[in-house]
Amino acid sequence: MENKKFDVVIIGAGPAGLTAGIYLSRAKVKTLILDEGMPGGQIILSHEIANYPGVENVSGYALASTMKKQAETFGCVVKRNAKITNFDLSSEKKTIEINNGKEIFETKVVIISTGGKSRPLGIPGENKFKGRGVSYCATCDGDFYQGKEIIVVGGGNSALEEAVALTKYAKVTIVHQFDHFQAFKHAIEDAEKNDKIDFIMESELQEINGDNVLEYVTIKNMKTGAISTKKIDGVFVFIGYIPNTEMFANVLNLNERKEIISNETLETNIKGVFVAGDNRNKKIRQITTAVSDGTIAASNAIEFLNSL
């Protein structure tokens, strides 16, 4: 099969990858974006985004769709349902194979923007009821719980913001392992003033129980050790992320959290391979920081191409 040639191939179509695609294509760089699923990454799971500068109260899906359209308008090729099955990043002519060899792409530069995935609780019953009582996406599943009672697990921005969004459908109880939240002040205030939200602090879910449907959860108070049960219809989990870097573990330098290590230009340990977004070594993970990464990686990719 003849290789299809591009100047830059971007792996991952979240905000970082789409932003890189916009900048590269606008600079007349022949660019391809590959994504295993639907372009947009984790932001398509957000019911409402209110802190993206210049944009008021937009859904994650709508924002992602606009980014994709912008990239394609400038000539970027965006290919969805593209599962990477083999690749060579070390050679000067880098190759990426998708869908068991159905297509092979040759490129001079690769930008890895594979993002992350929701971190599971890792407790009994979670896998059994995943997709039928246990969810990691308020936007996807919230309306299934109209008039019911649900638990939201977590204490960061995502947990509190999605808990507030879920009150449009259900009565919400937030369960958090500490006596304080790690979210921004406004997110905490919004949750605390919402009369459809209760709080169970310094506690953890121990087990998710039921026969054919989720019926109740077991909760442990981390301070006293007391065990209790609570009848519930659904559990929404927002306790962080795991970077999608498994396929690069033996190729790129990763830190102890499995994030890709890069320098200030966002270049990895391999020349011509850059990283952008939530899969790289950084502290703050927001849409704005992902977009910033995409801009930086694209700009330095252009500089690298010009040096060849």
Q: Is position 76 annotated as part of the catalytic site?
A: no
What does the H/E/C string look like for the chain? CCCEEEEEEEECCCHHHHHHHHHHHHCCCCEEEECCCCCCHHHHHCCCECCCCCCCCECHHHHHHHHHHHHHHCCCEEECCCCEEEEECCCCCEEEEECCCCEEEEEEEEEECCCEEECCCCCCCCCCCECCCEECCHHHHHHHHCCCEEEEECCCHHHHHHHHHHCCCCEEEEECCCCCCCCCHHHHHHHHCCCCEEEECCEEEEEEEECCCEEEEEEEECCCCCEEEEECCEEEECCCEEECCHHHCCCCCECCCCCECCCCCCECCCCCEEECCCCECCCCCCHHHHHHHHHHHHHHHHHHHHHC
In the residue annotation, 140 being an active-site residue is answered as yes
Q: Which residue is catalytic, options 7, 35, 141, 293?
A: 141
User: Is 195 one of the annotated active-site residues of the chain?
Assistant: no
**Residue in 140, 143, 179, 198 annotated catalytic:** 140
Catalytic residues: 137, 140-141
